[in-house]
Amino acid sequence: MKIYNTLTRRKEEFEPITPGKVGIYVCGPTVYDFIHIGNARPMIVFDTLRRYLEHKGYEVNYVTNFTDIDDKIINRSIEEGIPASEVSEKYIAECKKDMEALNVRPATVHPQATKEIPEMLEMVQTLIDKGHAYEKNGTVYFKVRSFKPYGKLSHKNIDDLESGHRAEAHALKVSGEDEKEDSLDFVLWKPKKEGEPFWKSPWSEGRPGWHLECSCMSKKYIGETLDIHAGGEDLIFPHHENEIAQSEAASGAEFARYWMHNAFLRINGDKMSKSLGNFFTVRDICKQYDPQVVRFFMLSAQYRTPLNFSKELVEDSAKGLERILNGAEKLKSIEEKKNGRFITDAEQKILEEEVPKFIERFDEAMDDDLNTSDAISIIFELIRFTNANTDEKSSSDFAGCLYRVLFELCDKVLGIHIEKKADEIDSSEVERIEALIAERTAAKKEKNFARADEIRAQLLEEGIILEDTREGVKWKKA
């Protein structure tokens, strides 16, 4: 697989440090409010990366944090008159609900900054001991000029940065950071203000800087060198540049081998963001559209291409997804009807010669820096192909094989459910319901109507409605 690496500005062949295993760290949201659909882009994109790597046989350790202490959270806690921890816990829970709706799988670990303070104190101390950090009036700063490669990720020249910062001298004075030895230096630890949450440290009662948490948590849950570090492109500078400086200065080892950054979700050409006020929360959008449509829309563009959010484009995605779901439904219904036909030579030939080409082309698209846009086009081609090559007379096994290919690519890898009716039910539950339906069909055939009615009543009690149609029994949640 080739990945575009922000560090080298080239697409590079992906090679993990340990064969067969991949450690990925993705910067997560600051939890002071509901997430907006711009925040959902990295969640969906990198969840798809994880799924694709698993499809290729890798064991993936996927770590993504929640920033649960920050000025915005503290401001919110003051506004609402509740502790900061209550604000963050509430929005972590809400964010997890949104992720579940968007079929973003839970990470291997979701670390939270406030639960990892000892590791952060240790890293700050290491940086001080190695001469990369210093303390002034309870604040600890990272000494940027002590880390020679500073700027390597964002491709910025340290002297240009310095002159930019001098122009901001007034802003530094306002924030109280004019005591820094160098205007480039950034905060590792800052003292509390009156009434703010704090943790004890050798330098002051205070809290960690934002950049520090990702350096510490990625090291703890993945290791000193990450295979892939990802996030939105706004994080390249200063957040990721500072993470590199802290981690590499502390460990001496390379921090991350591949850096992936998603482009923005835009609205009328502007970045969707809280500060511009031009955002829609995931919660609100999912009231208007099926969350699967939102996920499908998000993957309709390759992740480094800006994507404009508009009603028209989301509705196009809804129509596209409908075509895929209809194609899947057709295959499923042929498979389930079990018309008693054996797989024919022609069908066998298609499975052996034609279908692998679609899988290969899908993988080629995904191998090309996760080109989900091309991968979706190939799924559309596959649907056209299965629609043209199946009908009532196709064998159940043939339709079943085609269905499973579609399921692997669309449902498992892209995370887009292909079954219309079973979207809220897990697969073991689907199997159980379908076994009961099969039993009911068999009972009816044997004229055991009492048992057939009993099964219908039992499922109805569980909120499952059965419909006898010409294509067989269909079911849905009430």
Binding site for ligand AMP (CB under 6 A): 27, 29-30, 38-39, 41-42, 231-232, 234-235, 262, 264-265, 271-273
**Per CB under 5 A, which region of 138-146, 211-219, 324-332, 384-392 contacts Zn ion?**
211-219
Q: Residue 177 Cβ, how far from Zn ion at the closest point, in Å?
A: 20
The size of the interface with Zn ion (CB under 5 A), counted in residues, is 2
Of 111 and 320, which CB lies nearer to Zn ion in the complex structure? 111
What span, in angstroms and rounded, lies between the C-alpha atoms of 214 and 209? 10
**Per CB under 5 A, which region of 24-32, 176-184, 190-198, 295-303 contacts Zn ion?**
24-32
Give the residue from 24, 198, 27, 220 showing the smallest Cα distance to 122.
220
Task: Identify the residue among 214, 249, 265, 436 touching Zn ion (CB under 5 A).
Answer: 214
Position of tokens 């600051």? 30
Q: Residue 151 Cβ, how far from ligand AMP at the closest point, in Å?
A: 20
Q: Residue 184 Cβ, how far from ligand AMP at the closest point, in Å?
A: 22
Of 231 and 327, which CB lies nearer to ligand AMP in the complex structure? 231
DSSP letter for each residue of 344-394: PHHHHHIIIIIHHHHHHHHHHHHHBT--HHHHHHHHHHHHHHHHHH--TTS
Of 51 and 211, which CB lies nearer to ligand AMP in the complex structure? 211
Query: Which of the listed partners (ligand AMP, Zn ion, none) does 320 bind, with a CB threshold of 5 to 8 Å by partner kind?
Result: none
The sign of the torsion formed by the CA atoms of 11, 16, 20, 26 equals: negative
Residue nearest to ligand AMP (CB): 232
Lookup: tokens for 415: 């995370």
Q: Residue 140 Cβ, how far from ligand AMP at the closest point, in Å?
A: 22
- Do β-strands 307-308 and 270-271 pair in parallel, antiparallel, or remain unpaired? unpaired
Q: Residue 339 Cβ, how far from Zn ion at the closest point, in Å?
A: 55
Q: Residue 65 Cβ, how far from Zn ion at the closest point, in Å?
A: 7
- Do β-strands 139-142 and 133-136 pair in parallel, antiparallel, or remain unpaired? antiparallel
**Per CB under 5 A, which region of 1-9, 36-44, 212-220, 399-407 contacts Zn ion?**
212-220
Are 67 and 120 in contact, with CB atoms under 8 Å apart? no
Quick check: 43 binds Zn ion (CB under 5 A)? no
Q: Residue 41 Cβ, how far from ligand AMP at the closest point, in Å?
A: 4
Are 205 and 194 in contact, with CB atoms under 8 Å apart? no
Rg, the chain, Cα only:
26
Of 41 and 143, which CB lies nearer to ligand AMP in the complex structure? 41
Hey, which residues does 468 pair with through a beta bridge?
473
What span, in angstroms and rounded, lies between the C-alpha atoms of 390 and 404? 15
Quick check: 212 binds Zn ion (CB under 5 A)? no
Are 296 and 317 in contact, with CB atoms under 8 Å apart? yes
Lookup: tokens for 344: 């024919």
Of 213 and 335, which CB lies nearer to ligand AMP in the complex structure? 213
Q: Residue 278 Cβ, how far from Zn ion at the closest point, in Å?
A: 24
Query: Which of the listed partners (Zn ion, ligand AMP, none) does 76 bind, with a CB threshold of 5 to 8 Å by partner kind?
Result: none
Quick check: 217 binds Zn ion (CB under 5 A)? no
Of 41 and 50, which CB lies nearer to ligand AMP in the complex structure? 41
What span, in angstroms and rounded, lies between the C-alpha atoms of 301 and 320? 14
Of 73 and 452, which CB lies nearer to ligand AMP in the complex structure? 73
Lookup: tokens for 384: 């056209």
Q: Residue 261 Cβ, how far from Zn ion at the closest point, in Å?
A: 12
Give the residue from 98, 425, 105 showing the smallest Cα distance to 285.
98
Q: Residue 234 Cβ, how far from ligand AMP at the closest point, in Å?
A: 5
Of 19 and 277, which CB lies nearer to ligand AMP in the complex structure? 277
Are 300 and 317 in contact, with CB atoms under 8 Å apart? yes
Q: Residue 37 Cβ, how far from ligand AMP at the closest point, in Å?
A: 8
Sheet with 307-308: list strands edge to edge. 270-271, 265-267, 307-308
**Which string of x and - marks every residue 313-352 that binds Zn ion (by CB under 5 A)?**
----------------------------------------
Query: Which of the listed partners (ligand AMP, Zn ion, none) does 214 bind, with a CB threshold of 5 to 8 Å by partner kind?
Result: Zn ion
Of 49 and 265, which CB lies nearer to ligand AMP in the complex structure? 265
Query: Which of the listed partners (ligand AMP, Zn ion, none) does 262 bind, with a CB threshold of 5 to 8 Å by partner kind?
Result: ligand AMP
Quick check: 355 binds Zn ion (CB under 5 A)? no
What span, in angstroms and rounded, lies between the C-alpha atoms of 51 and 410? 11
Quick check: 27 binds Zn ion (CB under 5 A)? yes
Per CB under 5 A, contacts with Zn ion among 368-387 are: none
441 burial via Cβ count (<10 Å: 0-12, 13-18, 19+): middle
- SS3 assignment, position 163: helix
Residues of the chain by 3-state class (helix, strand, coil), percent to 5: 50, 15, 30
Query: Interface residues with Zn ion (CB under 5 A)?
Result: 27, 214
